[in-house]
Structure 1
Amino acid sequence: MINIPRGTQDILPEDTKQWRYIENKLDELMTLYNYQEIRTPIFESTELFARGVGDSTDVVQKEMYTFLDKGDRSITLRPEGTAAVVRSYIEHKMQGDPNQPVKLYYNGPMFRYERKQKGRYRQFTQFGVEAIGAENPSIDAEVLAMVMHIYQSFGLKHLKLVINSIGDADSRKEYNEALVKHFEPVIGDFCSDCQSRLHTNPMRILDCKVDKDKEAVKTAPRITEFLNAESTKYYDEVKQHLDNLNIRYEEDPNLVRGLDYYTHTAFELMIDNPNYDGAITTLCGGGRYNGLLELLGGPNNTGIGFALSIERLLLALEDEGIELDVEDDFDLFIVTMGHEADNYAVKLLNELRHNGVKADKDYLSRKVKGQMKQADRLQANYTIVIGDQELENNEIDIKDMATGNTEKINLDEVVAYFKKKE
């Protein structure tokens, strides 16, 4: 027997309805915010992620699925969505679109080679948003409000929005110099990743999972101490918008985005439930990027975005005991008795389906009792029984499965009967 690859999952029919519900809900919410869907390839040039995600990141160094294609080109299964969306924005010259900023969202599979654990897979589904072409505190606030709106729309209540500013390029430069000076005397006590990042990307030491509890991390300088007047003003305006929207948030000066192109607003949405004992507490994260487009050969435009895992959203709903309002009913099940009745049912089913009626019949030659049990399993709202007598009299009884009541109608009026119920 061939088993599923490690770190992947089959989403079975009983679960796909929940996935469809979530995806449809997200599509509806994006329409409210005037964001348009974009779909990019599942694989891209490796260089895109090396430059767009960062050579020094764990994603690029340890987690990407990379291979040479038949043309000897290095190809990578996408590990995240932002780089591909920005690549598409540049390639299709979306900066020339009269509707600015360009508001995009995506939803699809991503791939990272990492240790499997609850809520984390090597193939996972990521939903994300990118608003490109405007540097304005109000759109930062819009994206933060959208994050809250998404999770609240599914009934989640125990949420904590954590925000920070990592300033502009000048603020970051000064801050990085202070971090190098702070960590240099003790860097020998840190993991090899942190040691290699000291002079290339010192901010990433702050979010290292291995060394996060070290005293030097706790006493490290805070980015907010290095914000210049312009960065402080931007951050204050974002917070003012959130206050005006009655969106609660916490500030965490150690919340950073380690890549050079990130600036100003950084944020994470976390589970804030004292009874929660899950391994994953961060639901989604994002931030403003003011240098990514130029880094990928595009215009000097700015953007902000976030990404969330559908798997983590489902896990949070499960832990909160929230059941989605998934439609699971079925309009009609046709019970047949005899060969002629079965032939008639084939034609009737085709006509019903072409008129928008969810209908099915038996295909295993079960007795009437077995067919009725199948109707129950499908949660059919109605059943009809067709046999020789019904065909001869052109009459059938429609049974309401919830009440047990029956109604007699002409057999050739079944389609019209259900169309009236729409």
Structure 2
Amino acid sequence: MSIQKPKGTQDLLPGDVEKWQYLENKARDLCRRFNYKEIRTPIFEHTELFARGVGETTDIVEKEMYTFQDKGDRSITLRPEGTAGVVRAYVENKLYGEPDVSKLYYVGPMFRYEQPQAGRYRQFHQFGIEAFGSTEPSIDAEVIALGYTFYKEIGLQNVTVEINSVGTPSVRTAYRTELQAFFAPVKDKLCKDCQFRYDRNPMRILDCKVDQKYGEGAPSILDHLDDECNTHFGAVQDHLTAMEIPFTINPRLVRGLDYYTHTAFEYKSAGIGSIDTIGAGGRYNGLVEQIGGGDQPGVGLGLGLERILLVLANQGVEVPKPEPIDVYLIALGEPAEKEVIKLLYQLRQQGIAAEKDYLGRKMKAQMKSADRYNAKYVAILGDDELARGEITLKKMETGDQLTVTLADLAANAAKTLFE
């Protein structure tokens, strides 16, 4: 019996992995323009980090984490999301001592034990950004705008932005009491998860897909915001409007993480079955302090790359194909083969994408191989050309041929091939 990949994971093969590279390169270029710097944190962390940072009442911590004891009997968890690890690194490395706002981004795998379905894996990948040190509503709007711009530039259609304010802990305390009173008559009818949430975090009931009907007519947190929260939320809307970022207000949007304060948002796009959220984020002013740092505000987002690729495919958006091979070298005869091996290395040293046959095939088969690689040129070297110190170049697009010296090609291939 052959060994297969674990459930909820996937192999990214040549032909597909280039699509991932395209998204990652787009993300990195966008972060360069918005002045976010890359950070790379461990794939596993101490379990306490996620229990304290993500929230003990969240589905992630209660049901979805990959947790194990290491050989030192320490509880270790594969990261289920990116923010907590970045906050830990921000605190541990004292990035809060820098004079400017810390603007960071990451791209990498996350792990959650969920039931796999379209767009949902147990190992999945996120592009995320985090900004620390500012309470300004303008940076909330900047984070939302960066995510929206990413979707727009890769060609995703019909992306909508939903925003809400989840207030502050003091605002939510009063709101929580009112929510519990609202749901009390139907508590026994709620799903098991929401019956548990009723006492610990009743706002999460509003986000439940199973109990949507019981939440109709529930009090809105927007009616409970204090002056500070209202001012902040209004300013975020003003900034988004000024940047012409379209959005709608969804008072039921609460997100599944306990650390959010003030702004919460999601990006939606249909086309992944019952899943329509392709990215989300929000402000988390108390998280740095929870993880052991000072009272530093933060705001960020996370975008799921698997879901983005699935929506792109469903919308028929073509991801740009990788650059073709510049030149495919064909040797006719053993002396020519030795020269081609040397020439191949010389070309690659000049930045030329070059390839040759390694299976001892005849010229016709090698030409087919060059065609499969979509090579721009084929360079053919036989014994006669070798004796004259020359090599024949064939431009595959037109069929035109020219002869150049081996010395010229080896010394200045870029000029020879592309000028």
Asked if TM exceeds 0.5, the reply is yes
Once the two structures are superposed, residues 350-375 of structure 1 have per-residue CA deviations (whole angstroms, 9 ceiling, x without a partner) of 11111111101111111110110100
- Alignment partner, residue 357 of structure 2: 362
- The one-letter code of the counterpart of 1:246 is E
Aligned equivalent of 2:267: 269
Which runs of 5 or more residues in structure 1 are unaligned? none
Q: Equivalent residue for 1:114?
A: 114
Match for residue 177 of structure 2?
177
SS across alignment from 2:245? coil
Aligned to 2:279: 284
1:98 aligned partner: 99
Aligned to 1:388: 383
Give the partner amino acid of 1:283. I
Partner of 2:291: 296
CA contact (8 A) 1:203 1:258 kept: no
Match of 1:229 in 2: 227
Please tell me whether the aligned partners of residues 111 and 123 of structure 1 are also in contact (alpha carbons under 8 angstroms).
yes
Alignment of 1:86-235 (within 5 A): 86-99=87-100, 101-212=101-212, 214=213, 216-235=214-233
Could you tell me how far apart the structure 1 residues matched to 2:192 and 2:219 are? 21
* Identity score, percent: 51
TM-score, length-scaled by structure 1: 0.96
* Alpha-carbon RMSD: 1.3
Query: Aligned partners of 1:262 and 1:111: how far apart in 2?
Result: 21
Alignment deviations for residues 45-94 of structure 1 (CA, whole Å, 9 cap, x no partner): 01111111111111111111110000000000000000000011111111
SS at match of 1:14: coil
Q: Shift of residue 118 of structure 1? A: 1.0
- TM-superposed CA distance for 1:339, in Å, is 1.0
Partner of 2:15: 14
Deviation readout 1:176-206 (Å, 9 max, x if unpaired): 1111111122111111211111121111111
Instruction: Report deviation, 1:326.
Output: 2.8
SS of the residue 2:16 aligns to: helix
Q: How far apart, in 1, do the equivalents of 2:275 and 2:328 lie? A: 43
Amino acid at match of 1:72: D
CA–CA separation in structure 1 for the residues paired with 2:14 and 2:157: 28
- The alignment partner of 1:13 has SS state of coil
Contact 1:145 1:247 in 2 (8 A): yes
Structure 1 pair 401–324 and aligned structure 2 pair: CA distance change class (3 A) = same
Q: Quick one: distance in 1 between partners of 2:174 and 2:327? A: 69
Q: Tell me the amino acid that sits aligned with residue 233 of structure 1.
A: T
Question: Is the partner of 1:325 in helix, strand or coil?
Answer: coil
**Structure 1: distance between partners of 2:267 and 2:221:** 20
Matched residue, 2:392: 397
Q: Using the alignment, how far apart are the partners of 1:182 and 1:393 within structure 2? A: 91
CA contact (8 A) 2:272 2:307 kept: no
Report the CA distance between 1:390 and its aligned residue.
Answer: 0.9
Offset of residue 277 of structure 1 = 6.4
* TM-aligned CA deviation for residue 260 of structure 1: 4.5
Contact 2:55–2:259 (CA under 8 A) maintained in structure 1: no
Alignment correspondent of 1:320? 315
**1:278 and 1:332 mapped to 2: Cα distance?**
44
Please, what TM-score do these two structures have when normalized by structure 2?
Answer: 0.97
Deviation at 1:109, TM superposition (A): 0.6
Distance 2:367 2:274 in 1: 44
* Contact persistence 1:201–1:258 (CA under 8 A): no
Over 3 Å off, 4+ runs: 257-261, 276-279
Deviations 1:379-416 (A, max 9, x none): 00001111111111112221000000011111221134
Match of 1:143, SS state, is helix
Amino acid at match of 1:176: R
Q: State which of 326, 329, 348 in structure 2 corresponds to 1:331.
A: 326
Equivalents in 1 of 2:45, 2:364: separation in Å?
55
C-alpha displacement of 1:418: 2.3
Distance between the aligned counterparts of 2:257 and 2:163, measured in 1?
A: 17
Deviation at 1:328, TM superposition (A): 3.2
Number of positions where the alignment pairs a residue of Structure 1 with one of Structure 2? 416
C-alpha distance in structure 2 between counterparts of 1:193 and 1:21, whole Å? 39
Q: 1:343 to 1:279 in 2, by over 3 A?
A: farther
The equivalent of 1:39 in structure 2 is 40
Q: 1:169 Cα shift?
A: 2.5
Once the two structures are TM-superposed, the CA of residue 258 in structure 1 deviates from its matched residue by 5.3
Once the 2 structures are TM-superposed, how far is the Cα of residue 279 of structure 1 from its aligned partner?
Answer: 3.4
Displacement of 1:419 in angstroms is 2.1
Q: Which amino acid aligns with 1:219?
A: G
- SS state of the match for residue 319, structure 2? coil
> 1:76 aligned to 2:77?
yes
* Alignment partners' CA distance in 2, 1:203 and 1:259: 11
- Residue matched to 1:346: 341
**Structure 1 CA distance, aligned partners of 2:279 and 2:153?**
15
Bigger shift: 155-164 or 373-382?
A: 155-164
Aligned residue identity for 2:262: H
Question: What letter matches 2:363 in structure 1?
Answer: V
Is 2:258 the counterpart of 1:257? no
Partners of 1:271 and 1:260 lie apart in 2 by 24
Q: What is the CA–CA distance in structure 1 between the aligned matches of 2:32 and 2:341, rounded to whole Å?
A: 40
Cα 1:114–1:259 change in 2 (3 A) is closer
What is the one-letter code of the residue matched to 2:186? V
- Secondary structure, counterpart of 1:87 in structure 2: helix
